[in-house]
Amino acid sequence: MTLITPTLLSDGRELIYFDADEASAARHRDPEAVRDARGLPPRGPAGTARYDALSGEWIAVAAHRQSRTHLPPADQCPLCPTTPANLSEVPASDYEVVVFENRFSSFGPDLGELPSAPEWGTTTTAFGRCEVVAFDSAHEGSFGSLPPERARTVIDAWAHRTEALSAMPGIKQVFCFENRGADIGVTLLHPHGQIYAYPFIPPRAATLAARAHEFFEASGGTRTLMGHALAAERSAGDRMVIEGEHFSAFVPFAARWPLEVHLVPHRQVPDIAALTGEERDELTTVYLDLLGRFDALYPTPTPYIAAWQQAPLDDVLRPASYLHLQVTSPRRAADKLKFLAGSEAAMGAFINDTTPEKVAEALRAAGTARTAGTSGAATTPDAPSATTRKDQA
């Protein structure tokens, strides 16, 4: 069971300790032990959001983020526990998992509804909330190297924050995610993730929700699109990576990235908060296994984005939506990253240099290799075959 202790930082931001251990939670309940001694100035005003009438998308304008902390040395890490020499963002001598409002927030702290009929030139407050999730007090490591009990507490923290943020005024989408690796823009090495609570449904989530809704309606509300895809993948088998009792992981039929895996619960639920204790237990095991396989593919840790697709907070779209995790990596060889160039960045049309079946095979082999105690598996998903080369030409 996870014990939850909320407190406030000196500038009024909320910080919440998540502890599996009662002694640790008790320390966090002592106001003196968690007092933020920094005396921070009040938070600045929220940023703005501009409406792009050409695409119908909202763009957050967060110029204040330019001054945010960028790859600080370990002794000045803002996510490490506070010491006399480093008054960090976490004013405690130790912690298990902690969540706090981002000091350099793209959305929020103001909450509210966006204009309902925006047009060219519409600017509004960037309502919403951005939070940081520190996965562990240790500076080194990553989600994949967490002990299972700590990873399980992170899952409870995601569930708690999803529920709390979903209930806040004007929030339309809660997005828990992790960027891992400086190669893809991580500015803090300490193992952590983030949660964005948006005042709109972001474009990719909107596309997925619209397709899910269409399929659901066409079936008379009896079948979900992800349920259909999951059954098809389990039946085909050649793209499966892990099959558990409550979760399966597979490379999707039309993967867009050189490395892409969808981790899907067998039961349709809208969000992480709706997972049972038993499902969260298995998610812990399966997710750690999956990340271990990602890192076993190459001699160095694989950069990735782990993105939780949760149901939008929309009465029409929500019933058809199906929680799942999309883990993607731009790594296409040991020393090569795929860059989003013309077709992908400008047109949103992805070209994959390898086949999903080949990637799935490599990830299955990576599990075997890890069990055998080796790393840097011989079977890597790079070096596309002649067939895929031809497809690309």
Residues engaged in binding Zn ion (CB under 5 A)? 77, 79-80, 139, 190
Kindly tell me which of 75 and 391 has the beta carbon lying closer to Zn ion.
75
Q: Determine whether 262 is an active site residue.
A: no
Which of 28, 190, 192, 262 is the catalytic position?
Answer: 192
CA 271 vs CA 9, 166, 173, 285, 291: distances in Å:
28, 10, 11, 19, 21
Q: CA-to-CA distance for 33 and 92, rounded, in angstroms?
A: 6
Name every residue whose Cβ is closer than 8 Å to that of residue 117 and which is 6 or more positions away in sequence.
Answer: none
By beta-carbon proximity to Zn ion, the closer residue of 150 and 332 is 150
Helix (H) or strand (E) holding 278: helix 277-296
Residues composing the chain: 393
Nearer to Zn ion, 72 or 170 (CB): 72
Give 77 or 291: the residue with its C-beta nearer to Zn ion.
Answer: 77
Cβ atoms of 316 and 201 closer than 8 Å: no
Q: What angle do CA 314, 193, 248 make, to 5 degrees?
A: 70
* Token pair listed for 147: 């002990």
Considering the complex, state which of residue 80 and residue 359 has its C-beta at the smaller distance from Zn ion. 80
Closest distance to Zn ion from the beta carbon of 76 (Å): 9
Is 298 exposed, middle or buried (CB count within 10 Å of its CB: 0-12, 13-18, 19+)? buried
Provide the sign of the torsion angle of the four alpha carbons 278, 178, 268, 312, taken in this order.
positive
- Taking the complex as a whole, the smallest distance from the CB of residue 97 to Zn ion amounts, in Å, to 14
Give the shortest CB-75-to-Zn ion separation in angstroms: 9
Residue 60 beta carbon to Zn ion: minimum distance, rounded to whole angstroms: 27
Of 13, 153, 9, whose CA–CA distance to 88 is shortest?
9
Nearer to Zn ion, 68 or 318 (CB): 68
d(CA 380, CA 300): 13
In eight-state DSSP terms, residue 116 is: S
Residue 264: other Cβ atoms inside 10 A: 24
Handedness of CA 71, 76, 77, 78 (dihedral sign): negative
- Cβ(184)–Cβ(328) under 8 Å? no
Which of 80, 360 has the CB closer to Zn ion?
Answer: 80
Task: State the minimum distance, in angstroms, from the CB of residue 62 to Zn ion.
Answer: 24
Cβ 72 to Zn ion shortest distance, Å: 9
Cα separation of 342 and 350, whole Å? 10
CB 20 within 8 A of CB 35: no
Closest distance to Zn ion from the beta carbon of 53 (Å): 42
CB of residue 47 to Zn ion, shortest distance in Å: 26
Distances, alpha carbon 356 to alpha carbons 110, 244, 277, 347, in Å: 43, 20, 32, 22
Alpha-carbon span 27 to 23, nearest angstrom: 6
Residue nearer to Zn ion on the CB measure, 77 or 159:
77
Q: Which residue is nearest to Zn ion (CB)?
A: 77
What pairs with residue 176 in β-bridges? 195
Catalytic residues: 192
